[in-house]
Amino acid sequence: MVYRPEFAIDNEVLTLVSEIAMLISRIPEGNVNSVQLRLRHSNNVRTIHSTSAIEGNRLSLEEVTDIIDGKHVIGDPDDIREIKNAKKAYDRMNRYDPFSVKDLLAAHGTLMKDLVERPGEFRDCEVGVFKGPVAVHIPPEHDDVPDMVGDLMEWSKGVKLHPLVMSCIFHGRFEYIHPFVDGNGRMGRLWHSLILSKWRPAFEYLPIESWININKKEYYRSLDEAHRGNISVFVKFMLLMIRMAVDEYVDEITYTSGKGPDIRMSILDMVSGDPKVTVAKMASVLNVSGRTIKRHLSLMTKAGTIKREGGARTGHWEVVRPPPQ
Arithmetic mean of pLDDT over the chain: 89
Q: What are phi and psi of 307, to 5 degrees?
A: -145, 155
If you count them, how many residues does the chain have?
Answer: 325
- Give the CATH number of domain 11-255: 1.10.3290.10
pLDDT digits (tens, 9 = 90+) for 246-280: 988 887 776 666 555 667 788 888 888 889 999 98
**pLDDT at site 261:** 60
**pLDDT at site 325:** 46
**pLDDT at site 33:** 67
Q: What are phi and psi of 19, to 5 degrees?
A: -65, -40
The predicted model gives 289-295 an average pLDDT of 80
The predicted model gives 59-84 an average pLDDT of 94
CA distance 5 to 79: 36
Break the chain into its structural domains and give their ranges.
Answer: 11-255, 259-319
| Helix 184-199 with 163-177: angle, nearest 10 deg | 160
Which of 26-40, 67-81, 96-110, 143-157 comes out lowest in average pLDDT? 26-40
Residue (of 207, 212, 201) closest to 252 by Cα position: 207
CA distance 103 to 195: 13
> Which residues are CB-contacts of 220 (< 8 A; sequence separation ≥ 6)?
none
Q: What is the pTM of this model?
A: 0.81
Which of 97-106, 178-187, 240-249 comes out lowest in average pLDDT? 240-249
Same fold, 11-255 and 259-319: no
Second CATH level (architecture) for the domain 259-319: Orthogonal Bundle (1.10)
